[in-house]
Amino acid sequence: MAGVSAKTVSRVLNEEPHVTAKVRERVKRAILALDYRPNPAARSLAAARTFLIGMLGVRLDGFYFSQLHRSASQACRAQGFHLVMEEVGMRERDWIAAVERNLHYMRYEGVILCPPLSDCVALLDLLESRGIRSVGISPVTRDHRCDIVETDEAGGMAQLAEHLWKLGHRRINLISGLENSVSALRPEYFTKAYVALGGDIRDVSFTRMAWQGNVVEIGRQLAEDTLAGERMPTAVVSFDDETAAAMISYAHERGLSVPCDLSVVGFDDADLAQLVWPPITTIHQPLDDMARAAVSLLLEPSPDGEPRKLCFPVRLIIRGSTGPVRQQG
Amino acid sequence: MAGVSAKTVSRVLNEEPHVTAKVRERVKRAILALDYRPNPAARSLAAARTFLIGMLGVRLDGFYFSQLHRSASQACRAQGFHLVMEEVGMRERDWIAAVERNLHYMRYEGVILCPPLSDCVALLDLLESRGIRSVGISPVTRDHRCDIVETDEAGGMAQLAEHLWKLGHRRINLISGLENSVSALRPEYFTKAYVALGGDIRDVSFTRMAWQGNVVEIGRQLAEDTLAGERMPTAVVSFDDETAAAMISYAHERGLSVPCDLSVVGFDDADLAQLVWPPITTIHQPLDDMARAAVSLLLEPSPDGEPRKLCFPVRLIIRGSTGPVRQQG
DNA sequence: TTGAAAGCGCTAACAA
DNA sequence: TTGTTAGCGCTTTCAA
């Protein structure tokens, strides 16, 4: 091509040094003119690279993952990489073996772990043993074995505690999601903030999600459990907007008014939060920034090899699903 | 390996004929014992194949795509293929060039087109020129250029027309989505069925979605438009559950009771339909079956090369968002 | 700074 | 039915 060796073309394409500006220009022109595109399989084979980044999650639907995927995908493309999203069937037996096959087949150069996978020891072990770099999104575990992108959960809960406190709520129920997920940390953060405001620790009660059935069933079950006791909470804080929506729906069904009889708080600021009535007070995370950061961490390894941690702020968005607690008549 | 030539191993791996059962067994055992996995890059390079299937859609979030993706992904794996989902930024300029680069880079052996891409002529042209087989999900266009998986839209609208007719609705508004999407066909099907039941064609009015802003904004805008006129419809039929939810939410806000003052119908039977109050009457499509069928069509080309078409039934699911029309006082 | 040769790990084509 | 050879399209290594 253009009277240069294959190797020179390769050097230009890969932006290697030691190429004259003149030659570089000539090759670039030829590449454009011929619409030449290197064969990725050949490149992979020769260089033992794939330029593929994997993104592993347990549920692709829902706002959280799609948003992360979109932003990470763009960030990857900008750096000459390609992002592939994989759904991990954590509930199937041998799922780790399935992931292993997957990793082997795709040969990702790096992997982004969405919660709750960012806390899965078996998976981290697997990645480590295969020598695949990874970045975890919002893990719970403290001793990080890979780079981390997380949110200021404590800050979010502090904002929320203050909001509910000012509205006069003194019977608050917190619903946390999967055991190994960020939401498992929130009860503690919330309680601390609530107590710091002068609240009684006994005002706060807890419910935990059971992992069975689909969103609708889970939401309904949690709603029933939470609102069943005779001393019903005046505010319920859920670990995502779906469950919060289910809670509101259940309240409607029971003839309870939201927020008059019950305030409901979600998490994530998904579209859904604004599609239901009343719209859901929720906590917004900067998912775009987080995804971009994850890609950066992956593609720019830390010089000293020390695991890095990036923490992003969250923001309480107050909507109609929370209001002042009704005065006891 | 095990005293056989590389080619023999290759033959066993690819399940080619002309291998003695004995040799096949021996090789398989050796493969297991050594945990040998072929290098996909090498295989790609030599055989000019990738065993990759692409799934192209414009919005990865939302129930529709995730569901299709999950089922198609499983079907692919079962046949030794791998499914990769790509989001196509149809609103960006040069998006078709971006897709072209993508297709070139990933070298999919086949592509599944989700609506509205299944009707995109530019994309179909591109795929044809590249010689990439494709299957379209629920396209509008009649003269199919590739295999098709579609739903019985007419049947669905007939079920719905009957439902609303029996409830006494005589002022019905239909909201259709993007111009080039299945939902664009529904007004006609619905009207036909409605008229066949004895209804007056003038009872049915139409609204069309504008493609700008996010789900929330679109839903709100449509709700405002639809309920603005002085002769408000008694029933609104939306093209998806998100918009239906927005409609219900807007009705609540305006102090209208659903379904007493307004009946609302969605489409897709997304989780969301059961998370809002009242739960949304909607039309369920067998997305799992459709996805599996799409993969089958892709991997088993028709012998005569004629484009094939598979049609799946849909099912009206009646929930609380529709009810009898209120008697005029 | 550029080029030549060898080889990445498979499979197609052909020979035995 | 099995094995042999060449080569897929790049990059690595080394020589010029």
Q: What is the pLDDT of residues B176-233, one digit of tens each?
A: 987 778 888 899 999 999 999 999 999 999 998 877 778 888 888 888 888 887 789 9
Residue A38 CB in 7 A reach of strand D:
yes
Counted across chains A and B, CB pairs separated by less than 8 A come out at 121
Alpha helices in chain B (DSSP H): 6-13, 21-34, 40-47, 63-78, 95-106, 121-130, 153-166, 186-196, 215-228, 241-253, 272-275, 287-299
Residue B207 β-bridge partners: B175
Q: How far is CA A200 from CA A184, A203, A328, B88, in A?
A: 21, 6, 19, 52
- In this complex, do A275 and B242 lie within 8 Å of one another by their Cβ atoms? yes
- In this complex, is the C-beta atom of A168 within 8 Å of any C-beta atom belonging to chain B? no
Q: SS3 for A310? A: strand
Q: How confident is the model at residue A328 (pLDDT cuts 50, 70, 90)?
A: low
Q: How confident is the model at residue B329 (pLDDT cuts 50, 70, 90)?
A: very low
Q: SS3 for A150? A: strand
Q: What is the pLDDT of residues B71-103, one digit of tens each?
A: 999 999 999 899 999 999 888 889 999 999 999
**Is the model's pLDDT at B35 over the cut of 60?**
yes
Scanning every strand, the nucleotide with its C1' closest to A26's CA turns out to be: C2
At A141 the pLDDT is 82
Q: What is the pLDDT of residues A255-296, one digit of tens each?
A: 999 999 999 999 999 999 999 999 999 999 999 999 999 999
Q: What is the pLDDT of residues A118-163, one digit of tens each?
A: 999 999 999 999 899 999 999 988 777 899 999 999 999 999 999 9
Subset of residues 284-303 in chain B with CB less than 7 angstroms from any atom in strand C: none
Q: What is the pLDDT of residues A50-77, one digit of tens each?
A: 999 999 998 887 788 889 999 999 999 9
Through-space separation of residue B47 CA and nucleotide C14 C1' in angstroms: 17
Closest by CA to B113, choosing from B62, B53, B71, B49, is: B53
Residue B43 CB in 7 A reach of strand C:
yes
- In this complex, do A60 and B70 lie within 8 Å of one another by their Cβ atoms? yes
Structure tokens that stand for A156 in this block? 């979010």
**Cα separation, B182 vs B268, whole angstroms:** 12
**Cα separation, A251 vs A264, whole angstroms:** 10
- In this complex, do B277 and A105 lie within 8 Å of one another by their Cβ atoms? no
Q: How far is CA B141 from CA B150, B184, B211, in A?
A: 11, 11, 20
- In this complex, is the C-beta atom of A42 within 8 Å of any C-beta atom belonging to chain B? yes
CB-nearest to B249 from A41, A87, A276 is: A276
- In this complex, do B277 and A274 lie within 8 Å of one another by their Cβ atoms? no
Place of tokens 């992003």: A312
- In this complex, do A41 and B37 lie within 8 Å of one another by their Cβ atoms? no
Q: What is the pLDDT of residues B49-67, one digit of tens each?
A: 999 999 999 888 778 888 9
Please answer whether residues B123 and B99 qualify as being in contact, where contact means their C-beta atoms are separated by less than 8 angstroms: yes
**Is the model's pLDDT at A329 over the cut of 70?**
no
Q: How many CA atoms lie within 13 A of A30 on its CB side?
A: 17
- In this complex, do B245 and A275 lie within 8 Å of one another by their Cβ atoms? yes
- In this complex, do A277 and B249 lie within 8 Å of one another by their Cβ atoms? yes
Domain residue spans of chain B: 6-37, 46-151+287-312, 153-285
- In this complex, is the C-beta atom of B87 within 8 Å of any C-beta atom belonging to chain A? yes
A46-151+287-312 and A153-285 agree in CATH topology = yes
How would you classify residue B78: left for phi > 0, otherwise alpha for psi between -120 and 50, otherwise beta? alpha
Q: How confident is the model at residue A177 (pLDDT cuts 50, 70, 90)?
A: confident
At B73 the pLDDT is 94
Place of tokens 């079920």: B159
Q: How confident is the model at residue A302 (pLDDT cuts 50, 70, 90)?
A: confident
Please answer whether residues A247 and A220 qualify as being in contact, where contact means their C-beta atoms are separated by less than 8 angstroms: no
CATH code of the domain made up of A153-285:
3.40.50.2300
Cβ contacts (< 8 Å) between A65 and chain B: which residues? 61
- In this complex, is the C-beta atom of A245 within 8 Å of any C-beta atom belonging to chain B? yes
- In this complex, do B60 and A70 lie within 8 Å of one another by their Cβ atoms? yes
Place of tokens 């890969």: A14
Cβ contacts (< 8 Å) between B84 and chain A: which residues? 84
Cα torsion for A145, A149, A155, A160, to the nearest 10°?
-110
Closest by CA to B62, choosing from B218, B253, B206, is: B218
At B2 the pLDDT is 63
- In this complex, is the C-beta atom of B66 within 8 Å of any C-beta atom belonging to chain A? yes
At A49 the pLDDT is 92
Cβ contacts (< 8 Å) between B66 and chain A: which residues? 59-62
- In this complex, is the C-beta atom of A242 within 8 Å of any C-beta atom belonging to chain B? yes
**Is the model's pLDDT at A297 over the cut of 70?**
yes
**Cα separation, A320 vs B3, whole angstroms:** 73
Please answer whether residues B312 and B283 qualify as being in contact, where contact means their C-beta atoms are separated by less than 8 angstroms: no
Through-space separation of residue B299 CA and nucleotide C13 C1' in angstroms: 25
**Cα separation, A242 vs A213, whole angstroms:** 14
Nucleotides of D under 7 A from a protein CB: 1-5, 7-13
Nucleotides of C under 7 A from a protein CB: 1-5, 7-13
Strands A315-317 and B110-113: unpaired
End-to-end CA distance of chain B: 87
According to CATH, the topology of domain A46-151+287-312 is Rossmann fold (3.40.50)
- In this complex, is the C-beta atom of A129 within 8 Å of any C-beta atom belonging to chain B? no
Q: What is the pTM (predicted TM-score) of this model?
A: 0.91
Helices B6-13 and B21-34 cross at an angle (nearest 10°) of: 90
